[in-house]
Amino acid sequence: MVNRERPLRADAERSVRTILEAAEKVLAANPTASLEQVAEAAGVARTTVHRRFANRQALVDAMVHNVFAQLDEVIAACRPETAPPLVALHGVTASVLRVKLGWPFAMTESFTPGARWSEGQRALAERCVALLRRAQADGLVAAEADLGWTCQVYYALIGEAAHHTDETDPEVMAAKVVDTLLHGVGPRP
C-alpha cells in the first residue's frame, strides 16, 4: 500500500501513478512478474518502487484501491440515483467497461471470489441493485425479477463483453450488454 501518512508531493503522486499503470500492464501480461519488472516498465529505479510499496502485495493492494476509486468516480458521474434508469444503466456500463478494459489485472484481483475486497464488492453490488430497482420501477426489469441474481447476470455480461468479443468501443459494448440484460436473446414480439 502507498504510504499515506502525509500527502505526497505532485512529483511523487505522478511517480506512484506511473508505477501503478506500469504494474497493470506488466501484471496483466504476467501475473507472477516481480517488482523489478514493474520498476523497469515504469522507467524508475527498483528502490523507487520499494520506497512506495513495501512488497508486491502492497502494490497489488494499491492497484485494487485505485480501481475501486475509479469505479466509484465513474459510476457517480453517471448519476445512477437521479438520471433516467436506462440512461444511467448505459452510462454505468460503458464507464465500467472502460475501467475494466484499462485495468484488467486489478479488476480481476478485486473480484476474485473470497478476496479481501468484499467491502468494495458489496458496495458496488448495492449500487447495482439500487439502479436495477429504479429500472424495475420504470418497467425496464420485470417486477418479479430477483435483483441480486440480475446484478450477477449483469456483471457476467460485462465480463463477457470485456473479454470475449472483438468489439473495442465501450459504448457499443454497453449497448449490447444493456440490450441483452433487459431483453435477453429470444425472439422479440
**pLDDT of 6 over the 90 cut:** no
| Contacting residues for 41 by C-beta, under 8 A, at least 6 apart | 22, 23, 25, 26
Could you read off the pLDDT of 143-181 as tens digits, one per residue? Answer: 999 999 999 999 999 999 998 888 889 999 999 999 999
pLDDT at res. 100: 93
CA–CA separation, 119 vs 47, rounded Å? 32
The CATH class of 1-54 is: mainly alpha
pLDDT at res. 5: 53
> Which residue intervals of the chain bear CATH 1.10.10?
1-54
pLDDT at res. 15: 86
pLDDT at res. 117: 77
Could you read off the pLDDT of 55-108 as tens digits, one per residue? Answer: 999 999 999 999 999 999 999 999 999 999 999 999 999 999 999 999 999 988
pLDDT band at 2 (very low <50, low <70, confident <90, very high): very low
- Percentage of the residues of the chain whose pLDDT score is greater than 90: 74
pLDDT band at 122 (very low <50, low <70, confident <90, very high): confident
CA–CA separation, 175 vs 118, rounded Å? 28
pLDDT band at 188 (very low <50, low <70, confident <90, very high): confident
Choosing among 1.10.10.10, 1.10.3720.10, 1.10.357.10, 3.40.190.10, the CATH entry for 60-183 is: 1.10.357.10
Cα 17 to Cα 8, 12, 118, 132: the distances in Å are 12, 9, 24, 34
For 186, phi and psi rounded to 5 degrees?
-75, 170
Q: Enter the pTM of the model.
A: 0.85
Do 34 and 41 touch, CB atoms closer than 8 A? no
Average per-residue pLDDT in the chain?
90
**pLDDT of 115 over the 70 cut:** no
pLDDT at res. 187: 85
Q: Does residue 9 or residue 183 have the better pLDDT?
A: 183
> Which residue intervals of the chain bear CATH 1.10.357.10?
60-183
pLDDT at res. 113: 65
